[in-house]
Structure 1
Amino acid sequence: MHVSLRRRAGAGAVVLALVSAVVGGPSAARAAATDVRVDVDARAGLATVGDAALGVNHAIWDAQLGAPAVADRLKDAGVQMVRYPGGSYADIYHWETHTAPGGYVAPDTDFDTFMAGARRTGAQPMIIANYGTGTAAEAAGWVRYANVTKGYGAKYWTIGNENYGNGHYGANWEADDHADKSPKEYAANVVAYAEAMKAVDPTIKIGAVLTMPGNWPDGIVAAGDSGTWNQEVLTRAGAAIDFVDVHWYPGGSTPAETLGKSAQIQDAIYLLRKQINQYAGAGASRIGISMTETNVDVGRNTQPGALFLADVYSGLLAQGVFTVQWWNVHNGPDKATTIAGQTDFNDYGLLSSGTCTPDNAACEPPLNTPFAPYHALDLMGDFARPGDQFVGTGTDDALVSAHAVRRATGDLAVLLVNKDPDAAHTVALNYHGFTPSAAAPAVETFTNGADGLTSGSAGTAGTRTLAPYSLTLVTLHPSRTENAPKAPARPEATVTDRTATISWTASGSGLKYEVYRQNGGVSELLGETTGTSLTVHNLVPGRRYTVNVLARDGAGRLSAASPPLTFTTGSPATSACTVKFRDTNDWGNGYVGSIDITNNGPAALNGWTLTFAWPTAWQSLSSGWSATWTPDSRTVRVTSDATLAPGASTNVGFVGNYSGPNVLPESFTLNGTVCTTA
């Protein structure tokens, strides 16, 4: 537990009574009728939490940046990484003179003051080198001062901030003095910066700015470029970097719309990792992913912001993002509104700036008073600890999301997010690959309008009642502690269109291995063997699969899950048809798709039907041509009465819409036959 948890647990009886009232005590849990099912699957291993997972942003225009009270607040919340000098200011900031021409620099915000605060917090720094108005030599000088002169050991350095916002794609908010604003030029400078900075300290990690899949300008190819921003940067600078740096402001005109955006995380990170592997060259798997800014558009400092923070930090970390950082510690009020009964100042900050709105219509609480997202971050500090492995969860109600981690001790912690502002929901919790003890679990909650977390032990492992707009953390001990086998290492796979041979390294002797496919909150057993490989048959072409390997010893004890392996099956090596699919023109939320269809068979097709499915729920058909296009939910049917002769090809096209990461279709059938994709 963090200091803040011990601090808030002082009035034990009162706190426990409050927990029972909010989340249901033992009698309430037995009596409540459940309306939501949540599955927690310890066999479905996801990413392991690192030592920089929970982060925040500091900005040089924030006079509280170096305040001990702020550092202590962040330490209490378990913050492990702090970013400096803050967003777009990074591209006008000169560290040596502590100046930002065109911007405001507050007193007591220089680099040494920042580092003193980071050390007091117990957090690692992430530093943004000035790309927009700086030089590689200036950045190298900063590394020398930080790590040679001062011995700070600053490991993570990003080259610039949101540099795709330099006007190259039409929008211009980021300073950039380079005559060439293209991703090609940015990539060339990333290489130069990396060489100069690592010449000073070869142990540092260099990050390049990319765009989050599904967010502008993802998908857009600007005039004169060979590919998108991400493609160009990774192709040209991939060998020089150690991680990529993305931001995510998913938007949404209502809290409900914003809170639903967490459903896009898995596909977005999948696409980003796919881009890295495709374009960054040999050894691309070493490149990490950092999310250094995120926040909401509605409810920034009230409960929607808190629910979003917990849901999104958990979702990103589970997918292997090594740090997630809130924008930011202080920001200041904009316009006061009421959201779910609470005053929201439209303030990006975790902590109050203690000032009034520009029209003086409303004033924030005293300086450094925590806003709701701070308390969510505090709860995250108790939930996702270094070394914990996220495991799979599933829920049958979109208004309730769930995340879980398995600790090295064998404990299981489950975070439940009720996004319903009006109604409580009673959850039936079902566990797979884990048997909880009969003891009452430890429970922490954060409810709408509360000024902190409550904690205690209450209820049962199987049922939990969630207050409206609330966060609930349930931590369970296993029914017994046992010396289970060591978890296998990440497996590898050799894949065809319908089979996958999954292999791994033995993790001990006398073990049986079980291979599971992740499937929501209940994994599917694909097979078991005493060897170190398993071939799985009857897979679906063009489908994404995520698998884990677990070891079981002669006493029946099951290991933790291996790290996950994700692969996509291909298309048949030969088929009676071939399809070539291309995104020919993309504008960030829609694109023109082109499909070439070839008849490889010996007979003419006197009329044909092509079928494919959208991989995500946020993709749709706008219009199509050269055939009859019929959308049916996520399935698209393209029909024609024309004759397609043997060896002949035809082309059809469409306009597709998307409002999230645009995962392109990978499997097509023609008259019921699965086609080879070119």
Structure 2
Amino acid sequence: MRPHHSPRGRHLRRLLAGGTASILMTAAALLPAAPAGAATSASVTVNTAATLGTIPAAGHGLNFAIYDGHMNDAAIPGLVSGARFSALRYPGGSYADGYHWQTHTMEDGGYVAPNTGFDTFMSTVRTAGAQAVVTANYGSGTPAEAAAWVRYANITHGYGVKTWEIGNEVYGNGYYGANWEHDTHADKSPRAYANNVLQFISAMKAVDSTIKIGVVLTTPGGWPDGIVHSGDAMDWNNTVMSIVRDQADFAIVHWYPGAGSARDALSKPRQIASTVAAVRTVIGKYAGANAGRVGIAVTETNPGFQLTSATSALFATDSYLTWWENGAFNLDWWDMHNGSNTPASPADDGTTDYHDEGILSSASTTEPPLNTPLPPYYGLAMTGRAGAPGDTLLATSSSNSLLVSHAVKTSTGVNVVLINQDLGNSATVSLSYNGYTPNGTTTVDQWKKGDTSISTTTQASANSITVAPYSVTVLHTAGGGGSNPAAGVLKGAGSGRCVDVPGAVSTNGTQVALWDCHGGTNQQWTYTSGRQLTVYGTKCLDAAAQGTTAGTKAQIWDCTGAANQQWNLNADGTVTGVQSGLCLDAAANGTANGTPIQLWTCNGGSNQRWSR
């Protein structure tokens, strides 16, 4: 297994990306935990009236790399879907800037593993029920090469890849001194990058105008943010955005905060709000009235500290939820497999640090068997259990600084996430809910330090729980006030009519259609925690024959849990198939009773927007 940067570039990125944070112990690192064995308690309040946005459709992401010979192992789709990842990034960090997708080769001679080509990757993406995030080759590629990739992906094969980046960490191309990113352009300045990005955007969107394209920025407070090169008037971010302005759909940052201790690492998610604010400031400065439509993606992240420890798991859950609460639409952990040549050593929290950035074992050095989930896998899996795309993020407060809380309003109730950062003590937590009354049985998912699986239990109360030391717990409560009604219509924005099962039949294969809204049981769709849209309680909205091409019939079928029966309810009103990435569509822009419902390439039309 080869790292995605050269050793020198990788070291520089880790040391510099978080400024001095990676080498200095902050005050947070010195915060004392309660003495071992002491009783601790916390009060957590969930405010259902204070919403923080929704879980994004591509929010829960993971990096794949073409040097990883186990990228498409038979076990991978199950592990990916088991953690409920919704996005997979390809072809792998800095490798992207030397990778030619058509020949599946690296310009600089980098190692490319067998069976890691784009089509094989997309097969894994689809089987796992995720969507792809693709980094186009800026370093040695051209706008024409990138446009051909879009055509191959979305026109020729109907893969529906909507999220594209132009280059990886392009600022690491030597312009500011450090040189880890492959870049064959004679002019390596931010000015040249920005002008070239505009050409990429033009060429790629001429093929598929519905795709979203991102531009690379430096992480605020990290290297080389704020550095002005000789002869330049501004730093990288200001130069790039002053040229690109609102032509990119999103800004890209990578976040590896680094730490001096476990406690320091767990404090880093508190920096996310200010980081987002800084990115938003530079976007707003140049994108004008359209600044609000420019998103933020964090296409590489991990704590940069003891990466296979339990600390990394707790960091994963807290950081992903915090980024979502602050508006990031995509997070991609680095990475699935990475490997290590360094012998294992004890981590601060008493677990084993294999010095590996993968969430699954590569079986290198002293690691467990191949594809064994490592602690960060479980932290990310617990993030997936916090809620599904489209669910509403809620504000919470905790009385205990070592007990971090988040909450998500779902179609059936409220999920509460409790992260106990106390290494030696359990915590008894009392919970209160403003604007919501839980009732019935509460399901509890928990992972704690040392566990090799996630436990699931039930309890009668949603108002009190004792959580283990160094653990992540998700309480799935039931009650009034879900973000999406437990059962409700899907009403077309363009037609004013509802998605209907014709004749109120329950026959497998019946195509759904538009009809006047009347609220009957054949128009009542329940959005489940498994991302299914069910009708009659037993039938699911289904992409016929697991189709992934435009024109695939939307029908009812016995619920199977397969990816062709999973849907994302997006903030813009679209309903997209998890497997296909295509939008639920009223055929031919029809608005009349009986208009068939199908899957089609997303185009923003009113015939693809639905309300509940």
Quick check: 1:425 aligned with 2:427?
yes
Q: Quote how far apart the aligned CAs of 1:384 are.
A: 2.4
Paired residues of 1:34 and 1:428 also in contact (CA < 8 A) = no
Quick check: 1:389 aligned with 2:396?
no
One-letter code aligned to 1:113: T
Q: Quote how far apart the aligned CAs of 1:275 are.
A: 1.8
Q: Which residue of 2 aligns with 1:58?
A: 64
Quick check: 1:209 aligned with 2:216?
yes
Q: Deviations over 1:620-652 (max 9, x none)?
A: xxxxxxxxxxxxxxxxxxxxxxxxxxxxxxxxx
Q: Which residue of 2 aligns with 1:337?
A: 345
Q: Deviations over 1:409-439 (max 9, x none)?
A: 3x111101111212222222232222222x3
Q: Which residue of 1 aligns with 2:473?
A: 472
Quick check: 1:402 aligned with 2:411?
no
Q: Quote how far apart the aligned CAs of 1:345 are.
A: 0.2
Question: How far, CA to CA, are the matches of 1:157 and 1:257 in structure 2?
Answer: 33
Q: Which residue of 2 aligns with 1:651?
A: none
Tell me the SS of whatever aligns to 2:134: strand
Tell me the SS of whatever aligns to 1:368: coil
Give unmatched runs, 5+ long, in structure 1.
1-31, 357-362, 487-562, 564-678
Paired residues of 2:166 and 2:214 also in contact (CA < 8 A) = yes
One-letter code aligned to 2:424: D
Question: How far, CA to CA, are the matches of 2:293 and 2:265 in structure 1?
Answer: 32
Q: Quote how far apart the aligned CAs of 1:452 are.
A: 0.7
Q: Which residue of 2 aligns with 1:165?
A: 172
Structure 1 residues 97 and 477, CA, compared in 2 at 3 Å: closer, same or farther?
same
Question: How far, CA to CA, are the matches of 1:352 and 1:37 in structure 2?
Answer: 37
One-letter code aligned to 2:408: V
Quick check: 1:79 aligned with 2:85?
yes
Quick check: 1:315 aligned with 2:322?
yes
One-letter code aligned to 2:245: G
Quick check: 1:67 aligned with 2:76?
no
1:488-507 mapped onto 2 (5 Å cutoff) = none
One-letter code aligned to 1:471: V
Question: How far, CA to CA, are the matches of 2:133 and 2:55 in structure 1?
Answer: 18
Q: Quote how far apart the aligned CAs of 1:379 are.
A: 1.6
Question: How far, CA to CA, are the matches of 2:178 and 2:387 in structure 1?
Answer: 37
Tell me the SS of whatever aligns to 1:208: strand
More strand by proportion, 1 or 2? 1
Question: How far, CA to CA, are the matches of 1:231 and 1:341 in structure 2?
Answer: 43
Q: Which residue of 1 aligns with 2:361?
A: 352
Q: Quote how far apart the aligned CAs of 1:39 are.
A: 2.0
Paired residues of 2:418 and 2:472 also in contact (CA < 8 A) = yes
Question: How far, CA to CA, are the matches of 2:66 and 2:330 in structure 1?
Answer: 21
Paired residues of 1:68 and 1:120 also in contact (CA < 8 A) = no
Question: How far, CA to CA, are the matches of 2:435 and 2:218 in structure 1?
Answer: 37
Question: How far, CA to CA, are the matches of 1:255 and 1:278 in structure 2?
Answer: 37
Out of 276-285 and 203-212, give the one that drifted further: 276-285
Paired residues of 1:387 and 1:408 also in contact (CA < 8 A) = no
Paired residues of 1:247 and 1:291 also in contact (CA < 8 A) = yes
- The structure that has the greater radius of gyration is 1
Question: How far, CA to CA, are the matches of 1:199 and 1:173 in structure 2?
Answer: 32
Q: Quote how far apart the aligned CAs of 1:459 are.
A: 5.9
Question: How far, CA to CA, are the matches of 1:68 and 1:245 in structure 2?
Answer: 31
Q: Quote how far apart the aligned CAs of 1:80 are.
A: 0.9
Question: How far, CA to CA, are the matches of 1:266 and 1:427 in structure 2?
Answer: 26
Quick check: 1:41 aligned with 2:47?
yes
Q: Quote how far apart the aligned CAs of 1:211 are.
A: 1.8
Question: How far, CA to CA, are the matches of 1:136 and 1:457 in structure 2?
Answer: 54
Structure 1 residues 231 and 60, CA, compared in 2 at 3 Å: closer, same or farther?
same
Question: How far, CA to CA, are the matches of 1:299 and 1:449 in structure 2?
Answer: 15
Tell me the SS of whatever aligns to 2:245: helix
Paired residues of 2:436 and 2:481 also in contact (CA < 8 A) = no
Residue 194 of structure 2, aligned match among 187, 192, 195: 187
One-letter code aligned to 2:235: T
Q: Quote how far apart the aligned CAs of 1:460 are.
A: 2.8
Paired residues of 1:34 and 1:463 also in contact (CA < 8 A) = no
Paired residues of 1:292 and 1:323 also in contact (CA < 8 A) = yes
Q: Deviations over 1:491-549 (max 9, x none)?
A: xxxxxxxxxxxxxxxxxxxxxxxxxxxxxxxxxxxxxxxxxxxxxxxxxxxxxxxxxxx
Moved >3 Å (runs of 4+): 479-484
1:186-265 mapped onto 2 (5 Å cutoff) = 186-265=193-272
Quick check: 1:371 aligned with 2:374?
yes
Paired residues of 2:195 and 2:243 also in contact (CA < 8 A) = yes
Paired residues of 1:293 and 1:324 also in contact (CA < 8 A) = yes
Paired residues of 2:441 and 2:478 also in contact (CA < 8 A) = no
1:502-517 mapped onto 2 (5 Å cutoff) = none
Paired residues of 1:130 and 1:139 also in contact (CA < 8 A) = yes
Tell me the SS of whatever aligns to 1:140: helix
Question: How far, CA to CA, are the matches of 2:196 and 2:302 in structure 1?
Answer: 29
Q: Quote how far apart the aligned CAs of 1:212 are.
A: 2.2
Q: Deviations over 1:326-385 (max 9, x none)?
A: 1000001233112233222011111110121xxxxxx21111111111112222222121
1:410-449 mapped onto 2 (5 Å cutoff) = 411-437=413-439, 439-449=440-450
Question: How far, CA to CA, are the matches of 2:175 and 2:415 in structure 1?
Answer: 45
Quick check: 1:300 aligned with 2:307?
yes
Q: Quote how far apart the aligned CAs of 1:446 are.
A: 0.2
Question: How far, CA to CA, are the matches of 2:428 and 2:234 in structure 1?
Answer: 49
Paired residues of 1:169 and 1:217 also in contact (CA < 8 A) = yes
Paired residues of 1:415 and 1:472 also in contact (CA < 8 A) = yes
Q: Which residue of 2 aligns with 1:112?
A: 119
1:577-592 mapped onto 2 (5 Å cutoff) = none
Structure 1 residues 273 and 408, CA, compared in 2 at 3 Å: closer, same or farther?
farther
Q: Quote how far apart the aligned CAs of 1:202 are.
A: 1.6
Question: How far, CA to CA, are the matches of 1:225 and 1:466 in structure 2?
Answer: 54
Structure 1 residues 214 and 460, CA, compared in 2 at 3 Å: closer, same or farther?
farther
Give unmatched runs, 5+ long, in structure 2.
1-37, 489-570, 572-612
Question: How far, CA to CA, are the matches of 1:141 and 1:337 in structure 2?
Answer: 46
Tell me the SS of whatever aligns to 1:128: strand
Q: How many residues align?
A: 447
Question: How far, CA to CA, are the matches of 1:355 and 1:47 in structure 2?
Answer: 41
Q: Which residue of 1 aligns with 2:160?
A: 153
One-letter code aligned to 1:353: S
1:652-667 mapped onto 2 (5 Å cutoff) = none
Q: Which residue of 2 aligns with 1:606?
A: none
Q: Quote how far apart the aligned CAs of 1:451 are.
A: 0.5
Question: How far, CA to CA, are the matches of 1:442 and 1:254 in structure 2?
Answer: 33
Tell me the SS of whatever aligns to 1:240: coil
Question: How far, CA to CA, are the matches of 2:485 and 2:114 in structure 1?
Answer: 55
Q: Which residue of 1 aligns with 2:30?
A: none
More helix by proportion, 1 or 2? 2
Percentage of matched positions with identical amino acids: 47
Out of 305-314 and 238-247, give the one that drifted further: 238-247
Q: Structure 2 length normalisation: TM-score? A: 0.70
Question: How far, CA to CA, are the matches of 1:475 and 1:152 in structure 2?
Answer: 34
Quick check: 1:92 aligned with 2:98?
yes
Paired residues of 1:147 and 1:153 also in contact (CA < 8 A) = yes
Tell me the SS of whatever aligns to 2:100: coil
Q: Quote how far apart the aligned CAs of 1:34 are.
A: 5.7
